[in-house]
Structure 1
Amino acid sequence: MATTKHRAGRTRPTALNRLRHHHAAFPLVSAAVLFAVLAVVRVAGAFAFPLMVLSVALSGAVLLALPREEWAAAGLRRFAVLPAVVGTTLVALVYAETYFATRASFGDGDDNWTVWVPRLFEDMVPGVPLLGTAAMLLSLGVLVPLVEEVCYRGVLYRAVEQERGSYAAIVVTALAWSLVHLGDYGLNPLNLRVICGVLPSVFLMGLALGVCRAVTGSALACAFAQGVCNLLLLGAVVAPF
């Protein structure tokens, strides 16, 4: 165990070990605090791109609240192919339903939150369009899904599941995941129609990802499902039906 020595030769727990001890003793309280920090940084990221980047890093860092031996219980484990295919199919169907419902309700202009998906990555690699596209695909297909699912359908899901069961974990993590997306859509520029579209859409997507987590037992399966569906959504926005 990593410790810090006192002058008298004693040792005391590091900040990381104190965090892990607190999380083990009070998982719901700890999860709520961790989420509050993430939410503040992510929503603030709507107004400062560095904070958006920081929020991604912090989401992955939530995993440090658990010792290595508890990662598997939090969903960081291999998954069977068939349940993952079923889960991914469910998530894809929900993504499709929300895409078409949002388009029917808000049109295909700036009031539709989905049209802002590729715009989030504009100027990521200024002056090099091909690299910018590659960065967008890598971010939406791999990086963001992995970090988010490890955080939401991993650590936070496990904390709620321990105290309140799987159904509560599905709903709570879906709600939390939808709220932090205000850092991506609807606040800068302020557009209430975008907010009214994105919150229920992402909540439903989060429910589907939560079911995927329950079916597969793996946050990594959820990351795969989200990555596939993010790219499908991007394709639908760029080349609409």
Structure 2
Amino acid sequence: MKRRLGVAVLAAMMMVGVAGCAGGGPRDAGPTPSGSAVAPSGSPTPSPTPQPDLASIVVSATDVTLLDDSGAPQATLTFSGDDPASYVTALSASLEMEPTETTSPNGAQGAQFTTMYEWPGLLISTGFTEECLPACRHVTIVVSVPELAGVPIRTVSGISVGDSVDEARALGAQPTPEITLAAEPEDPALFGSTSEATRIVILDLDEDESTIAGLRANPWFYTFGNL
């Protein structure tokens, strides 16, 4: 009897041991897969900030300059002596727009011929006499739009067609003895003088005289005594 009881007890102990091995004890965490962890992605590389388009047509009292997309001078046309052909070529390429070109006899200051290059709202004209080139060549620019083909047209100080008179005055425009409003004097010290003249850009006004309607410049637009 004692032998059978001992065998039964031993059998029971073995069953408990097997049960403990099967699930009664603490479980080990599953194995970490070797090399399978996903590394956190880095911050996305920011796209470069687009540079502002600085292209513009800038009118001063003595010349007109074409600035490229970086704001650097690409071509300059001086109102006294320069043949505008090369400037017109550079401007046409920048605008991707050819002007209407016409040549006719006569012109200002006794010119033998006048050639006109005209885009919508922008006119560049040159009067010349063949016998005295380049000394007697002169250029006039007339602007009646704030931009052309997306390229802004402005004075050196930033005045554009469509600006209010107050905005233009804030940028330095002022009346002269004979002109309602002018800007960009060649010699700023003479802008208000009544005894010595300096070349300027004339600012044409609308009917209400409240808004800039046009820009004009050539070799003879002075603070007084101009044509």
TM-score normalised per structure 1: 0.27
Structure whose alpha-carbon radius of gyration is higher = 2
Higher helix share: 1
- Bigger relative contact order, structure 1 or 2 (CA pairs below 8 A, ≥6 apart): 1
